[in-house]
Amino acid sequence: MGHYARVTDGVVTNVIVAKAEFFDTYVDDTAGEWIKTSYNTHAGVHVNGGTPLRKNYAGIGFLYDETRDAFIPPQPYPSWVINEETCRWDAPIDYPDDGIEYQWNEESGAWDILES
């Protein structure tokens, strides 16, 4: 069994689990195509040591970039930039590594301590 993402106009609209043979007989007259994705691939790394596939496991709303052959999650904030290695979005300032939880503040362009 594998995971397949339905991509319409570059956007993932559905993700299913199916055998590859399913698509030999599946009749689908809607726009778009099914593209294989790997449940175990995140940020360009296969978590079980296998071969990564298309940088990230696809999710609904992700973009499929044909040039990069990669699934890219939605951009969380306008100031964040795509990381070409991982096809994930990086904040303009690294997340603090001090054991405290933070949330991004787009207005100030900084990490704010997450109040509980």
Residue 116 — very low, low, confident or very high, per pLDDT cuts 50/70/90? confident
Residue 29 — very low, low, confident or very high, per pLDDT cuts 50/70/90? confident
Total number of domains constituting the chain: 2
| Rounded Cα–Cα distance for residues 8 and 94 (Å) | 33
Same domain, 90 and 62: no
Same domain, 14 and 25: yes
Rounded mean pLDDT, 34-56: 97
Same domain, 49 and 60: yes
What does the pLDDT read at residue 62?
A: 98
Residue 115 — very low, low, confident or very high, per pLDDT cuts 50/70/90? confident
Helices first, then strands: H and E counts in the chain: 1, 11
Domain of residue 93: give its range.
76-116
Mean pLDDT, rounded, of the chain: 95
- 7 token code pair: 């991509």
Same domain, 9 and 65: yes
Same domain, 40 and 17: yes
Same domain, 49 and 81: no
Same domain, 28 and 69: yes
Same domain, 7 and 55: yes
First and final C-alpha spacing in the chain: 41
- % of the chain at pLDDT higher than 70: 100
Rounded mean pLDDT, 107-116: 94
Same domain, 6 and 53: yes
Same domain, 97 and 62: no
Give the C-alpha distances (Å, rounded to integers) separating 107 from 49, 81, 86, 98: 39, 16, 26, 23
Question: b vs e for 64-75, b when ≥16 Cβ sit within 10 Å of the residue's Cβ?
Answer: beeeeebbbbee
- For residues 101 and 51, the answer to whether their CB atoms sit within 8 Å is no
Same domain, 91 and 63: no
